[in-house]
Amino acid sequence: MEEEPAKHCLECGDEIAYGKRSDSKFCCEHCRQRWHNRNRNGMYRLKERYDRILEKNYQILLGLFESQVRSIERSRIMAMGFRPEFATTAVHSRSSMLMTCYDITYRMSEQKIFFIEKRGTRSEPRQEKNAAWDF
């Protein structure tokens, strides 16, 4: 069997001492904790940021839906602060994307967002087949 290449600490880059467990990623406990703290905080900030963007998108869609707006130019909704690349599910269909933002469904094409509907109100949108990321 070939000798494993030397492993290096993910935090400080020092070589991990011979004799450490082979799955060890850190040279010491201090480095392990520093790395985990930094990455946990980074993940938390990212999640918070995405949650805020989704919440804003949701409020914009809900406002449109409640004002009976079912279709809007992408440039107009983006001017309201909507971020079209954020959604809770996105499924490709032939000419548009079938999107959801929590319980609001809509279609999105290059030009517009349309068929804005809210689940449980009016016509229940048919169940998407590939909504793998639905929560």
User: What's the Cα-to-Cα distance from 78 to each of 44, 57, 82, 125, rounded to whole Å?
Assistant: 26, 10, 5, 24
Residue from 3, 7, 9, 131 that binds Zn ion (CB under 5 A)? Answer: 9
Q: Does 11 bind Zn ion (CB under 5 A)?
A: yes
CB 70 within 8 Å of CB 116: yes
For residue 31 the two structure tokens come to 């480095």
Give the torsion through C-alpha atoms of 36, 42, 47, 49, to 10 deg. Answer: 170
Binding characters for Zn ion, 12-51, by CB under 5 A (x = yes): x-x------------x---x--------------------
Binding characters for Zn ion, 72-101, by CB under 5 A (x = yes): ------------------------------
Burial grade of 77 (CB within 10 A; 0-12, 13-18, 19 or more): buried
16 versus 101: smaller Cβ distance to Zn ion = 16
Q: How far is the CB of 36 from Zn ion (least distance, A)?
A: 12
31 versus 108: smaller Cβ distance to Zn ion = 31
List contacts with Zn ion (CB under 5 A). 9, 11-12, 14, 27, 31
